[in-house]
Amino acid sequence: MKFDDVLETIGPFGKYQKIRCFLLCLFASVSAWHALNMVFIGAEPEFHCDNQNMNISSSKISNISDAGLLELLVPDDSCQQYDEKDVIIFYDNSTGVHRLLSSNMSTTDCTRGFWYSKEKYSSTIVSKFDLVCKRKFWKSTSKSVFFFGRLCGAIAFGQLSDRFGRRPIFFVGAAVLLVAGSVAAAAQNIYMFLPMYFLQGLAQAGIFLVAFTLSTELVGPKYRLFVGIMILMFYSFGYMTLSGMAYLLRDWRYLELAITLPVVLFVAYWWFLPESVRWLLSQNRNEDAHKYLQKAAATNGTVLPTSITENLHDSNTVKTDRKYYFIDLVRTWPMAKISLNLWFNWFVNALVYYGLSLNTENLSGDPYLNFCIAGAVEIPALLLCMVSLNKIGRRVPLFISMCVGGIACILSGTIPINGNSDLETLKVVLAMIGKFFITASYGIIHLMTAEVLPTVVRNLGMGVASMSARIGGILVPTMLDLKSIWTPLPLVIFGSLSITSGILALLLPETTDKPLPQLLEDVSSKNKRL
């Protein structure tokens, strides 16, 4: 009997599944804290050369205020200061305190380190480790290291969970996340912080992948869309609550501990979290699968007949003696068109999603409020997906989401502010519109990929798609740094790629109410090789 038929018998989404899906959704919120914490712990406060302890006691400027001294000493470039000797020589008491403008005034690098504003952030890794000016590259490097960790985590945890099971790998990942986050919070320099931050990214992505897979494998086919969207909504809830935590805990070490220590609570999952019955069946561990099904039936108030588990198998498994590899995803032109299109969509979705998420600190207004709004707009976007995808389809909503989101990004980046508060507000609103639609498209592409790829290469194709998304995430910090060339450039690139991806999505097959393809031959009867 097919496993999906058994789920219908014991309850496709009964009390047993609801409790465990809720527990996995709770972890999704913690996962969001770790995925996006760099917005706050890596924020760059306002800074300039430190002018304290300057030896001016015997000079003409000894009686001026600290603000006046700052005006004299620091030019427009926060990474430079006027030479102190030149300041003393050229200062004229009769003209009062003013910024000295002279071709003879030479500038130097900051000689006494940096002063950082504590108006928005009391401490970040930028202010703690002086990641500004010549060391500014470490800030973007730390973000890229985290996303590279996520790439490795998606690959490693996916393979490990397929080999050893979802349940044990979940707890291994939680242990890694707990240790890495705690050590990172105590890091004394950037060289100690980066390896731990890599491990945080690895564990965060790996556990979330396992949690997402396990939650969708627990329920019947009709509820997979609902459960998949719900776990993403809890992720968005974690996104929102992170801004509140960061507002209250403005020291990066306390924030890092606050998002890490709750992982200890997931130890209790050892007594509640089941192994995936689908995975047990794939490993021919039918007796263990039967025990879990009996427990689920009892919790759901149903009865599991003994005979129902005879010849039980997973309906998503296709028996074939052939092994499939990456090359099979691009071996024929029809298959290659689908695979490359899907991977490009995943790459762009991740690039734009995390680009807009990490860019909230650069938007005008309060960074904590902007970040909270960016998380809040995800919930209606995901709800829209939940209620509309089965009615409208997948392809056209994906096209609309990518294109509208892309246009909003371009407009947000190119609108000149010029000190106009109304235009500043419009810029933020457009950025949030872009975030709304890119979140919707992210949800759609997850579902569409699983429905377009044939069963024999579905896990493999999803794995490569996830890798494409991680590569997009790795490039986000570099893209955001392009604002030094032209301020609107990052958002213009995000928007242009999003529109391009949306247009290409129209070339994908519609999957609504269509049977899932099983073999490569189901994609196309033509077997033309590249």
pLDDT value of position 62: 59
- Do 294 and 353 sit in the same domain of this protein? no
Residue 80 and residue 184 in one domain: no
Compute the distance between CA of residue 403 and CA of residue 406 in angstroms, rounded to an integer: 5
pLDDT at 98: 47
- Whether 344 is covered by a domain: the verdict is yes
Final residue belonging to a domain, choices 116, 145, 161: 116
Instruction: Find the CATH number of the domain harbouring 179.
Output: 1.20.1250.20
* Location of structure tokens 């995430």: 473
Work out the angle at residue 25's Cα, subtended by the Cα atoms of residues 361 and 235, and round it to the nearest 5 degrees.
Answer: 15
Burial group, residue 475, by CB count within 10 angstroms (0-12, 13-18, 19+): middle
Instruction: Locate 410 and state its tokens.
Output: 């371009």
CA 441 to chain centre: 14
CB atoms < 10 A from the CB of 24, how many?
Answer: 26
Give a three-class secondary structure readout of 133-189: HHHCHHHHHHHHHHHHHHHHHHHHHHHHHHHHCHHHHHHHHHHHHHHHHHHHHCCCC
3-class secondary-structure state, position 2? strand
Q: What was the pLDDT predicted at 112?
A: 80
Instruction: Work out the number of other CB atoms within 10 angstroms of the CB of residue 162.
Output: 16
Does 121 fall in a domain? no
Query: Is 502 in the same domain as 387?
Result: yes
Same domain, 157 and 269: yes
Torsion sign, CA atoms 434, 440, 446, 452: negative
Question: Whole-angstrom Cα distance, residue 75 to residue 65?
Answer: 17
How many domains in the chain? 3
Number of Cβ within 10 Å of residue 326's Cβ equals 13
| Runs of H (alpha helix) within 393-457 | 395-414, 421-452
Tell whether 519 is covered by a domain. Answer: yes
Record the tokens describing residue 47, joined without a space.
Answer: 């800074």
Judge if 488 and 513 occupy the same domain: yes
Q: Which residue is it, tokens 């955001």?
A: 480
Within a 10 A sphere around the Cβ of 75, how many other Cβ atoms?
Answer: 18
Rg of the Cα atoms in the chain: 27
User: Do 511 and 487 belong to one domain?
Assistant: yes
What is d(CA 211, CA 12) in angstroms, rounded to the nearest whole number?
A: 18
| Whether residues 280 and 374 fall in one domain | no
3-state secondary structure of 114: strand
Task: Let me know: does 446 contact 228? Beta carbons within 8 Å.
Answer: yes
Contact 229, 180 (CB under 8 A): no
Q: Which helix (H) or strand (E) holds 48?
A: strand 47-49
- Pick the last residue of a domain from 91, 116, 141: 116
pLDDT digits (tens, 9 = 90+) for 447-501: 888 788 886 787 678 878 888 998 999 999 999 989 889 989 999 999 999 999 9
Cβ pair 448, 511 in contact under 8 A: yes
Cα 44 to Cα 46: distance, rounded to the nearest angstrom? 7
Work out the end-to-end distance of the chain between its first and last CA atoms, rounded to an integer number of angstroms.
Answer: 39
Could you tell me if 33 and 58 lie in one domain?
no
Residue 61 and residue 69: Cα distance in Å, rounded?
Answer: 8
Take residue 37 and report the two structure tokens written for it. Answer: 């914490």
Please answer whether residues 447 and 514 qualify as being in contact, where contact means their C-beta atoms are separated by less than 8 angstroms.
no
Selection from 4, 19, 2, 5 nearest residue 299 by Cα: 19
Tell me, yes or no, whether 168 lies in a domain.
yes
Looking at the domain assignment, is residue 163 inside a domain?
yes
Provide the 8-state DSSP code for 510: P
Sign of CA dihedral 47, 49, 55, 59: negative
**56 phi/psi in degrees, rounded to 5:** -125, 10
Looking at the structure, tell me whether residues 287 and 355 fall in a common domain: no
Last residue of a domain, one of 116, 139, 162: 116
Is there a single domain that holds both residue 89 and residue 194? no
- Asked whether residue 361 falls in the same domain as residue 308, the answer is no
Count helices and strands (H / E) in the chain: 21, 4
Q: What is the DSSP letter of 106?
A: -
Domain that holds residue 83: 47-116
Question: Which tokens is 432 given?
Answer: 């949030």
* 304 and 365 together in one domain: no
CA 381 – CA 362 distance, rounded (Å): 23
Q: Which residues of the chain have pLDDT under 50?
A: 93-94, 96-101, 103, 525-530
